[in-house]
Amino acid sequence: MIHSSAWQPRVYPYNGDIAPVQIDRLQGFDAGSTLNREKIREIGRDGIVDWRKRIPSSRVTLKQFEYGDLEFYRKLANKSDATTSITLADFKTSMVDICGYKTDDSGTFLGTVWYPKLRVSGFSINIGDPQAYIERSFSLVGEDENILEYNNKYFNYQKFTALGGAPESMTVENPDPIIDPDNSGQYLFRVLRVNVSDGTTDELAYTTGTASGTNYAFNGSTQALTVATSVGDVVKVYYSAATYITGEVPFTNNDSDASALSAENASIYLYDTTNHYVYKLQSIGIDVSFDRTDYYEIGNTEVVQRGVRDKTVKVTLGRILEAYTIEEALRGVGSTYGRINTRKYLDNGTLRVKIFSNSLKTAFNIGFKIPNLSPTDLGNAVPLNDYSNRNVTLESDSLTISTLEATIDA
């Protein structure tokens, strides 16, 4: 059996020269695949004639404790470690591979489960109650699930910085690639070239001839990869082997970041023309969803175009009803204003969620800014023999995540 403590997660960004990393503070991982197979029948026959194997679909959901680091957001958005702020537009064309490295209870490494070319379909930030841990959850979609085992049991990644050549030769070793049993004669799952001229990423096609243009060649006897390059291009190589990269391990304990940040470390502000601190708040949920559109083409079994038609950010605030601070902010009036009419609510409010490293709020870690908010739903409940509560739902299509407090305040 495989215990969660021996299931080691890593994420591999697709676009750009972005290093893979382990996924820290993961609290839950759930994945599944729909094979999308269709029965073919005919009149005059009892039973199935055949099955049409359509392009499958895979889904992955992850839940983390908030630990005040932008790293996983950056990897999902294919952004460099120097990036301090992420917006929803950054997820439009980004992709990642996610791998789980699996070891059983006897200490035997069994293999890797690999989900390639995943795209973010949504994510959420949630504080369930005043004593809860702050949680972040992510939903991703793709087409495939691969189980790597036996001699192919380790998923490996290597990176080369090109000296420039037409073509240039690079040696993929430590460990040497093992032939891909699904593709006769091929050893590498994928070769990407990040172009130094414009930062774009090309997925290169395998050729048995001389590498040129957007083709690569690989010699399984000498481990020589040849690619046409310019000086400074980055070549990223993905393959399987019987061992992991020499001198490295898929996962190491992260004892430097916070284990988990809790509700008392957060400050919530609702802005109309001034910032209103939201008191008596019992819960807050921020849910982001992308209306993704993937396009295929006749004669191809792969997705050829990926995009996002629309983005939705929904915010739900739950509180004990004592004062009408939220409603006053949505109406754009002060606490002495005598009437708050829902027809006159503003439609350009801003919510700011700031998360600090401690409850004294002396060190800012990470924040979320949602502008152009419009209220969409109000709920008021008076339970028997209990205190009245109030839920407010707001909606926008913009969100910024940043490790700079000045960006959240702007």
**Per-residue model confidence as pLDDT tens for the chain (410 residues):** 999 999 999 999 999 999 999 999 999 999 999 999 999 999 999 999 999 988 899 999 999 999 999 999 999 999 999 999 999 999 999 999 999 999 999 999 999 999 999 999 999 999 999 999 999 999 999 999 999 999 999 999 999 999 999 999 999 999 999 999 999 899 999 999 999 999 999 999 999 999 999 999 999 999 999 999 999 999 999 999 999 999 999 999 999 999 999 999 999 998 887 888 888 889 999 999 999 987 878 887 777 777 888 999 999 998 765 555 677 777 777 666 668 777 767 788 899 999 999 999 999 999 999 999 998 987 776 566 556 577 889 999 999 999 999 999 99
Sequence length of the chain is: 410
Q: Which residues contact 275 (CB under 8 A, 6 or more apart)?
A: 269, 352
Distance CA 144, CA 58 (A): 6
Phi, psi torsion values for 326, nearest 5 degrees: -65, -45
Nearest Cα residue to 69 out of 261, 253, 250: 261
Q: Is 59 exposed, middle or buried (0-12, 13-18, 19+ CB in 10 A)?
A: middle
What element of type H or E holds 125? strand 109-127
Where on the phi/psi map is residue 166: left (φ > 0), alpha (ψ -120 to 50), or beta? beta
What element of type H or E holds 76? helix 71-76
Q: Is 285 exposed, middle or buried (0-12, 13-18, 19+ CB in 10 A)?
A: middle
- On whether the CB atoms of residues 214 and 190 are closer than 8 A, the answer is no
Residue range 244-297, pLDDT digits in tens: 999 999 999 999 999 999 999 999 998 887 888 888 889 999 999 999 987 878
Where on the phi/psi map is residue 397: left (φ > 0), alpha (ψ -120 to 50), or beta? alpha
Distance CA 298, CA 226 (A): 31
Distance CA 56, CA 148 (A): 18
10, 32, 69, 116 from 97: Cα distances, Å: 8, 15, 20, 4
Q: Is the peptide bond before 250 cis (omega within 30 degrees of 0)?
A: no
Cβ neighbours around 198 below 10 Å, total: 6
126, 272, 283, 361, 404 from 278: Cα distances, Å: 16, 13, 11, 16, 21
Confidence at residue 304, expressed as pLDDT on a 0 to 100 scale: 76
Confidence at residue 206, expressed as pLDDT on a 0 to 100 scale: 97
Helix (H, G, I), strand (E, B) or coil at 7: strand
Q: Is 212 exposed, middle or buried (0-12, 13-18, 19+ CB in 10 A)?
A: middle
Helix (H, G, I), strand (E, B) or coil at 254: coil
Structural domains in the chain? 155-241 (2.60.40), 263-409 (2.30.110)
**What sections of 250-404 are H helices per DSSP?**
325-331
Distance CA 85, CA 74 (A): 9
Confidence at residue 136, expressed as pLDDT on a 0 to 100 scale: 98
Confidence at residue 301, expressed as pLDDT on a 0 to 100 scale: 75
Helix (H, G, I), strand (E, B) or coil at 115: strand
